């Protein structure tokens, strides 16, 4: 099982999500925590946050994270819609 390190930006954005979206994010985090390789669940974006993965939650929302393999740690960087996550449409 993977452990989470949660960035301040992720925390503040998560609190502003609707209860439905918060539940969907929690479900996605359970999937990330229980997989052998969280990098396989997301799409690697080399230029996003210095190299991170984007995990799609529904059609518009993303969790941005990094996996730190030897330590079994997932750094949660950002959660938000497409424009918030990538800065464009």
Neighbours of 52 (CB within 10 A): 22
- Tens digit of each residue's pLDDT (9 = 90 or more) over 59-73: 889 999 999 888 999
pLDDT of residue 32 exceeding 60, the answer is yes
pLDDT of residue 3: 94
Q: In what order do the strands lie in the sheet with 73-81?
A: 3-6, 73-81, 61-68, 52-57, 43-45
Q: Which residues, 6+ apart, have CB-to-CB distance to 9 below 8 Å?
A: 77, 78
pLDDT of residue 88: 62
Q: Which two tokens stand for residue 2?
A: 């993977």
* Confidence (pTM): 0.89
pLDDT of residue 5: 96
């Amino acid at each position: 099982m993977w452990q989470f390190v949660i960035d301040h930006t992720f925390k503040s954005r998560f609190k502003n999500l609707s209860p439905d979206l918060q539940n969907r994010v929690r479900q996605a985090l359970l999937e990330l925590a229980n997989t052998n390789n969280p990098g396989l669940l997301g799409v690697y974006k080399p230029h996003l946050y210095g190299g991170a993965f984007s995990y799609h939650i529904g059609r518009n929302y993303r969790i941005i994270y990094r996996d730190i393999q030897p330590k079994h740690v997932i750094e949660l960087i950002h959660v938000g819609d497409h424009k918030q996550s990538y800065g464009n449409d």
